[in-house]
Structure 1
Amino acid sequence: MNENELMGSMKVSKAVAKMAIPSVISSLVTVVYNMADTFFVGQTGDPLQVAAVSLTNPIFILLMAFANMFGMGGSAVASMAMGEKNEKRVKNTSAFVTYASLIVGILFALILIFFMKPILYTFGANSQTYEMAKGYTFHVSYGAPFIIWSAAASFIVRAEGASSEAMIGSMIGTVVNIVLDPVFISGLGMGAAGAAIATTIGNILASIYYLWYFMKKSKSFSVSPKYFKCGEQVLSRVCSIGFPTAIFSALMSVSTIVLNQILVKYGNAPVAAIGIVFKANMFITFLQMGLANGVQPLMGYNFGAGNQKRFMEVDCFTKKCCLVVGILATALFFFFREPIIHLFINDKDVIYYGVKMLVAYMLSGPFIGILFVNMNCMQSTGDALPATILSVLRQGLLLIPLLYLLNAVLGLNGVIYGQALTDCVAIVLSMYIWGRKKRKLKSE
């Protein structure tokens, strides 16, 4: 089976399955990867260690913001270039994503190392959690280039139709992290710092795998420096198309900082609880995000090839899949909400807050996939502005003021419903905006 058959002529349901299933598995692997640190640190029975890892979540989210910008933007540009048979643009894109990821990662590492104390106190650290958060942050900092590039590379690989290879790369990092976490955290008694070391090693090995793929196996891509350029609209196209995904992650980091600052006033237990809930709820969110991201190359290819009918069929079928998956996953989490929180830590205060928070976060669970598909549709057509607006609203302009308002009016009980309320507004807006865009495309 060649690339043209998969992208351009294979039955839509079969093509979506072939592209989406490895992507979903990769997303779930990412969830397990993110859960691993919190889970194994939680086994120490120390809520302060869990709170320290929770406080450093914004750092990892910011790294993912750039990974998603380069990865999603690069994947969209590369898949459109493939549809247009522009081989040079494909190579320029993969090389740009590689070196841009490494450059930004190095800058991140320097900023984290030299400004660690003010950064962590801004994130909500206090005298009880600072030293533990500092250890975690230091070991993540030097892994930043590998964390960004390995995540971005997985998107680029999928643009070539190699979803299985993208999944393998993700699994390498996750398996290594899971194996090394108990060794460093409990075996060597390093706590939160040990979790960060395991994370960094996992990403280094995943990066080595992707480097091998690009150099030895890929038919279309290249990481040769001679193809690295920012001109000819490579930088502008990749970053503008990937910006909605990046701003989504970046603002998620900002909103997480705001949320931690609000919650720490109620004690360290709610901070530890929200860290666990954030990781647990990723299962529902990333399951649907994996579906949406998996089919993005299909959409970009068919839009670039001018096959609008197939583009719309992929859009419709993917949304149906997201809805079914979202309902089933949310129902599962609702019925097992207490055992899920208890799985991470055996502390009655953290479990009490965690169960309440998990129920609140699940309210938008069945439908959040519709938002991701709509945003990817807009990005695949090269129209990044509406998707950017939705991202800014969902994680910034709407969520952050709402968190302060709910805290002032309803206290802690109000704060925990902020994300779900914002998600519902963003979903409805995305349906309206993409509906108008679709009508415009059909008329053209």
Structure 2
Amino acid sequence: MNTKDHELMGRMKISKAVATMAIPSVISSLVTVVYNMADTFFVGQTGDPLQVAAVSLTNPIFILFMAFANMFGMGGSAVASIALGGQDQKRMRQVSAFITYASLAVGILFAGALLGFMQPILTVFGANKETYAFAKGYVFHISYGAPFIIWSASASFVVRAEGASREAMIGSMIGTIANIVLDPVLISGFHLGAAGAAVATTLGNILASIYYLWYFIKKSSNFSISLKYFTCRDGIFSGICSCGLPTAIFSTLMSVSTIVLNQILVAYGNAPVAAIGIVFKANMFITFLQMGLANGVQPLLGYNFGSGDRERFQKIAAYTRKCCVIIGVLATLLFFVFRRPIIGLFIQDEEVIYYGVKMLIAYMLSGPVIGILFMNMNCMQSVGKAFWATLLSVLRQGLLLIPLLFILNALGGLNGVIYGQALTDYIAVFLSAVLWRKCKTYNSARKS
């Protein structure tokens, strides 16, 4: 690690260090938002609510891809950051090699499962006779892109761990720009519809993967994807998977809860299903702004914990939480004011817009505070308390949300079920504050 990196991680003014690391991460997150919005947006321009509903129904598959990408990426970033703080270059190379080959292996398994069991999977996801053909076309083309989707996403986290936020941002932008350019060409130009969106997504991730391959081979002095560094021993497998497990469980349970929600909504028709798909993508802007900020400072947290500078660790965490709240409030207000135009951007169908506006208001309620949850979870992971962060993930997307969806549906029908996520978020934020306070107390007691 060079002197410049030491200055950034360990000595630079807190606000400047956070800005240096977080701004590229936030941009990358917004690029991810645009990337995820692109498919729904361009499919929506066909004016066909059924195709929009089909893309919404298949969203859990992409979320599952991200579950493993986040586990390898966030876990690898945490382990690599600590190794960077301890100047252990061999361990950093083992991390990059592990996340590369583990991502490819999991992606191939996903592709095989989706191609072999497509019909029962889509039936479980809520596809009906009106949406099945569109959903099948999308899933077919997204399935063979699984290895590239998972690896390019996980690689972006690990690249950021050595302070290369700009390079990580470039990789994300390559995939996103390619997807945005290809979407209208394939969806409308070649009349592929929803299937064209999947082809564009796969091609975009292949290009991003090529960039990260170049970065690891030619650019990075700390990382390597050589097979000689691949190992599951020496705490590499357990360290990466345990640190990244909270985020992976969060994404997996998000997929499950999305399936449950789609199953509930499809009883009210295809329009609410199409609307919730648009709302998920639109609300990502508020969520990912804060998630990008929290993820951006993770290498700073890991480095300072690894180097033993607990005071700087706490100052970075406190400053970033304040930034998350400010950004969350401003973004939520913006979305509330322009709620109808935002939904109308995706599709000009009055029934879908009607449901979409109601749902967006409900989902925005937790926007001002959700960043606190992400920060507290990242802090726990950075100090090796992955179990507590995992517990929060399980509660937020599983043990709390799924039962609440059924309860609120029984009590208030469609008007009740749409508030399940916001209610769950507030409970999770409160619990995260309690658990992180206990975690700080425990670490202080050990230090003394």
| TM-score bucket of the superposed structures, by smaller chain | over 0.9
Match of 1:138 in 2: 140
Match of 2:192 in 1: 190
Among candidates 120, 123, 138, match of residue 121 of structure 1: 123
Large movers: runs of 4+ above 4 Å = none
Match of 2:81 in 1: 79
Query: Using the alignment, how far apart are the partners of 2:312 and 2:443 within structure 1?
Result: 13
Question: Is 1:441–2:443 an aligned residue pair?
Answer: yes
SS at match of 1:252: helix
SS at match of 1:364: coil
Where does the alignment leave 5 or more consecutive residues of structure 1 unmatched? none
Matches within 5 A, 1:225-244: 225-244=227-246
Match of 2:150 in 1: 148
Among candidates 351, 354, 361, match of residue 352 of structure 1: 354
Matches within 5 A, 1:86-125: 86-125=88-127
Q: Which AA in structure 2 matches 1:69? A: M
Query: Using the alignment, how far apart are the partners of 1:166 and 1:114 within structure 2?
Result: 34
Q: Which AA in structure 2 matches 1:2? A: K
- Superposed CA deviations along residues 377-433 of structure 1, whole A, max 9, x for unmatched, are 000011100100000000001100000011111100000000000000000000011
Query: Using the alignment, how far apart are the partners of 1:442 and 1:310 within structure 2?
Result: 14
- Superposed CA deviations along residues 197-234 of structure 1, whole A, max 9, x for unmatched, are 00000000000000000100101000001000011110
Question: Is 1:23–2:20 an aligned residue pair?
Answer: no
Query: Using the alignment, how far apart are the partners of 1:275 and 1:71 within structure 2?
Result: 26
Aligned alpha-carbon RMSD (Å): 0.6
Match of 2:254 in 1: 252
Match of 1:363 in 2: 365
Query: Using the alignment, how far apart are the partners of 2:403 and 2:439 within structure 1?
Result: 29
Match of 2:395 in 1: 393
Query: Using the alignment, how far apart are the partners of 1:5 and 1:79 within structure 2?
Result: 15
Query: Using the alignment, how far apart are the partners of 2:285 and 2:249 within structure 1?
Result: 21
Query: Using the alignment, how far apart are the partners of 2:439 and 2:395 within structure 1?
Result: 19
Where does the alignment leave 5 or more consecutive residues of structure 2 unmatched? none
SS at match of 1:2: helix
Match of 2:327 in 1: 325
Query: Using the alignment, how far apart are the partners of 2:4 and 2:231 within structure 1?
Result: 29
Give me the TM-score of the superposition, normalised by structure 1. 0.99
- Superposed CA deviations along residues 303-348 of structure 1, whole A, max 9, x for unmatched, are 0110101100110010010010000000000000000000000001
- Superposed CA deviations along residues 273-292 of structure 1, whole A, max 9, x for unmatched, are 00000000000000000000
Match of 1:65 in 2: 67
Q: CA deviation at 1:174?
A: 0.3
Match of 1:3 in 2: 5
Query: Using the alignment, how far apart are the partners of 2:425 and 2:326 within structure 1?
Result: 18
Q: CA deviation at 1:442?
A: 2.6
Match of 1:45 in 2: 47
Q: Which AA in structure 1 matches 2:195? A: A
SS at match of 2:46: coil
Query: Using the alignment, how far apart are the partners of 1:16 and 1:373 within structure 2?
Result: 13
Query: Using the alignment, how far apart are the partners of 1:155 and 1:85 within structure 2?
Result: 19
- Superposed CA deviations along residues 37-90 of structure 1, whole A, max 9, x for unmatched, are 000000000000000000000000000000000000000000001111111111
- Superposed CA deviations along residues 327-370 of structure 1, whole A, max 9, x for unmatched, are 00000000000000000000011000000000000000000000
Query: Using the alignment, how far apart are the partners of 1:140 and 1:8 within structure 2?
Result: 42
Give the aligned length.
444
Give me the TM-score of the superposition, normalised by structure 2. 0.99
Q: CA deviation at 1:150?
A: 0.3
Q: Which AA in structure 1 matches 2:96? A: S
Q: Which AA in structure 1 matches 2:381? A: Q
Match of 1:166 in 2: 168
Query: Using the alignment, how far apart are the partners of 1:148 and 1:80 within structure 2?
Result: 23
Query: Using the alignment, how far apart are the partners of 2:148 and 2:210 within structure 1?
Result: 9
Q: Give the share of equivalent positions with the same residue, in percent.
A: 75
Q: Which AA in structure 2 matches 1:211? A: L
Query: Using the alignment, how far apart are the partners of 1:305 and 1:156 within structure 2?
Result: 19
Q: CA deviation at 1:439?
A: 2.1
Q: Which AA in structure 1 matches 2:23? A: I
Query: Using the alignment, how far apart are the partners of 1:75 and 1:370 within structure 2?
Result: 20
Q: CA deviation at 1:441?
A: 2.0
Q: Which AA in structure 2 matches 1:179? A: V
Match of 1:418 in 2: 420
Query: Using the alignment, how far apart are the partners of 1:190 and 1:88 within structure 2?
Result: 47
Match of 1:429 in 2: 431
Query: Using the alignment, how far apart are the partners of 2:126 and 2:234 within structure 1?
Result: 43
- Superposed CA deviations along residues 126-163 of structure 1, whole A, max 9, x for unmatched, are 00000100000000000000000000000000001000
